[in-house]
Structure 1
Amino acid sequence: MSLPQPVPPSWKDLGKSSNDLLGKDYYLHGTSLEVKTFTPNNVTFKVAGIRDAKTAVINGDIEAKYADKSHGLTLTNAWTTHNVLRTQVELENQIAKGLKFDVGASLQPDKLAKTTTVNATYKQPGLHTRAALDVFKGPTLTADAVLGRDGFLLGAEASYNVTEGRVTKYSAAVGFSAPEYAVTVHGLGNLSTFAASYYHRVSKDVEAGAKAIYDTKATTSGVSLEVGTKAYLDQAAFVKAKINNAGVLALGYTQALRPGVKASFGIALDTQRLNDAAPTGPAHKVGAHFVFEA
């Protein structure tokens, strides 16, 4: 008798462990700040901003999220410094168990730019499928599905332009996921770009991962390769490091200063241009990120 199958990850989360290891917690493009506050009636306020190190431009947004867990309802509203208004309404596990609907819309009044996307997600043991309809672009229907059994994963995604009556994009992926490691291979962009990722939890304090990308349409030949690691110094701090085949080395350090306060610092060095005058020159990048929660 086979064991009950868990719900597999969604299409966008295939290879997530490796992507998070190589992509998150590296703050390299300026200084950013995030402040979160929570109210007793399940409302979360978030203010975030970033000052770009190259242009010195400050971009930010303010967001309010209300969650009614008993009715599976979540309402999110946001306003950005680019004068973009965003609204998202989510309804989960009300029509059927494992079924979630959400509608997202944005409006930029000064440019009369607007978007609306209707999404549906259905999750069951061994199956995770999603569909999204972009109302004003096409309209375009995008659907994906991931099947999982005994750790093996098989996924596919396709986009269909309703007006033109044709498939505009398709991708596929296979992988294997276990508690200590995961391997995923993607065929993206109508199978013109291939990506392979690997993640390994070496111990409770050390993680390692790698990602290789081969683009058949790229003007330069060869495979892009990136490897990285994460090490926990203690319960409140960790360091990360990664390097790619172009010789760019990135380092990240995150420290929990106290409950609700976290600071992260990052630096990227082009090891082939270490003789540049200053670490903040065009070949190198530095940044910092601060989070306050109350």
Structure 2
Amino acid sequence: MLNFDDILIFFNINQLRKLYDRLPFVDAAVTQETISCLRPDGTIGQMIICKDEDGEIQCPNNETIQSQENKFSLWRWLRNFHNDMAPPYYADLGKKANDVFSKGYHFGVFKLDLKTKSESGVEFTSGITSNQESGKVFGSLSSKFAVKDYGLTFTEKWNTDNTLATDITIQDKIAAGLKVTLEGTFAPQTGTKTGKLKTSFTNDTVAVNTNLDLDLAGPVVDVAAVLNYQGWLAGVHTQFDTQKAKFSKNNFALGYQSGDFALHTNVDNGKDFGGSIYQKVSDKLDCGVSMKWTAGSADTLFGVGAKYALDQDASLHAKINNKSLIGLGYQQKLRPGVTLTLSAAIDGQNFNAGGHKVGVALELEP
């Protein structure tokens, strides 16, 4: 039975270890096994038995079966609760709802993505996209290699705009939860060079990330932070242009998240307002609602979207907004590592006028 101290610990995530230490785990020399058993009320339950190196069994009596089940179930729930409540970065606020509206759609393009990994551990990602309206074909290639012993990751990128990029990342080595990335780009045809220093830090209470533009004429400093308290989120995002000596961004956000629900509202520069709601209705159905409005404008953009899993390999996607723009998508895993996405954008207000868009995407991953 949990006492009052256990309840206090339950509400203090930072002291979960105390509860963990009081759970009936056994030494490494003893193995655990879950078996069916008879509860005192005559119903069938489960209990954990322990076997030592000689195979001897130590069984709890029937009175402890229910409390043992509850205690292990509580710990599993607390562990999941602890993981789910880690705050996202500012850019990821409302991500679950945004994914409902964005993933599974590729309007007006033909797209092919390929991911593979060499025996030496180098990951390669390549993609090609053909835009149906402009006829432009865009391609990209990147390689990624991780040195896990040192927490280092090296990434090289190239695209058909002839831009080269290099990223060097070190994570969890300087401090736990801290990630530092040095990013550089170079365009040979123009000689343009850019550099950025990015840092991010996260724990159970706060998620902070910074972005420093390495421009000698006057760097742009970008800082964002999100605080978490029992699932409630408060975020701020600001950007300061040192060359112009003024703030170019002042954004604020509030929200709430749990395992199957997320609420997000934001105000950008005091004039752009937005909000989203995400709900996992069931194991197969995810729903999202999104709204945007700009001060001084009577035009409000409102949309609803849903994703329905037909089975573990196929899903349907649909969305519509108050301008009668309809998006439909179908995603099918043809075989392990091969995913086909078909999508269509329909203008409901001008259905007979045409101008509708279709898209096809094929993802290959070994």
Give the TM-score range, shorter chain.
over 0.9
Deviation, 1:165, is 2.6
Q: What's the counterpart of residue 28 of structure 2? A: none
Letter of the 2:317 partner, please give it: K
Larger Rg belongs to: 2
| SS state at 1:12 partner | helix
Q: Does 1:157 align with 2:234?
A: no
Letter of the 2:228 partner, please give it: G
Q: What's the counterpart of residue 291 of structure 1? A: 363
| SS state at 2:173 partner | coil
Q: What's the counterpart of residue 261 of structure 1? A: 338
Q: Does 1:31 align with 2:110?
A: yes
- Give the whole-Å Cα distance in 2 for the aligned partners of 1:168 and 1:93: 31
Q: Is the 8 A contact 1:42 1:68 kept in 2?
A: no
Letter of the 1:128 partner, please give it: A
Q: Does 1:147 align with 2:227?
A: yes
Q: Which structure 1 residue ranges, 5 or more long, are not aligned?
A: none
Letter of the 2:340 partner, please give it: A
Give the share of equivalent positions with the same residue, in percent.
Answer: 31
Q: What's the counterpart of residue 234 of structure 1? A: 311
Q: Does 1:3 align with 2:75?
A: no
TM-score normalised by the chain length of structure 2: 0.76
| SS state at 1:83 partner | coil
1:241-260 correspondence runs (5 A):
241-260=318-337
Select the structure that is richer in strand: 1
Deviation, 1:272, is 1.1
Q: Is the 8 A contact 1:184 1:197 kept in 2?
A: yes
Q: What's the counterpart of residue 126 of structure 2? A: 47
Computed over aligned residues only, the root mean square deviation of the Cα atoms, in angstroms, reads 1.3
Deviation, 1:217, is 4.9
- Give the whole-Å Cα distance in 2 for the aligned partners of 1:217 and 1:107: 41
Provide, for residues 33-54 of structure 1, a one-character-per-residue CA deviation record: whole Å limited to 9, x for no partner. Answer: 0011112322101110001011
- Give the whole-Å Cα distance in 2 for the aligned partners of 1:146 and 1:55: 40
Q: What's the counterpart of residue 91 of structure 1? A: 170
Letter of the 1:55 partner, please give it: S
Q: What's the counterpart of residue 188 of structure 2? A: 109
| SS state at 1:28 partner | coil
Higher normalized contact order (CA 8 Å, seq sep 6+, divided by chain length): 1
Q: What's the counterpart of residue 205 of structure 1? A: 284
Q: Which structure 2 residue ranges, 5 or more long, are not aligned?
A: 1-7, 14-81
- Give the whole-Å Cα distance in 2 for the aligned partners of 1:69 and 1:250: 42
- Give the whole-Å Cα distance in 2 for the aligned partners of 1:269 and 1:217: 29
| SS state at 2:287 partner | strand
Segments ≥4 residues shifted beyond 4 Å:
none
Letter of the 2:309 partner, please give it: Y
| SS state at 1:40 partner | coil
Change (3 A) 1:196 1:293: same
Deviation, 1:119, is 0.5
Q: Is the 8 A contact 1:89 1:102 kept in 2?
A: yes
Structure 1, 33-42 or 195-204: larger mean CA deviation: 33-42
Change (3 A) 1:89 1:217: farther
Select the structure that is richer in helix: 2
1:272-291 correspondence runs (5 A):
272-276=349-353, 281-282=354-355, 284-291=356-363
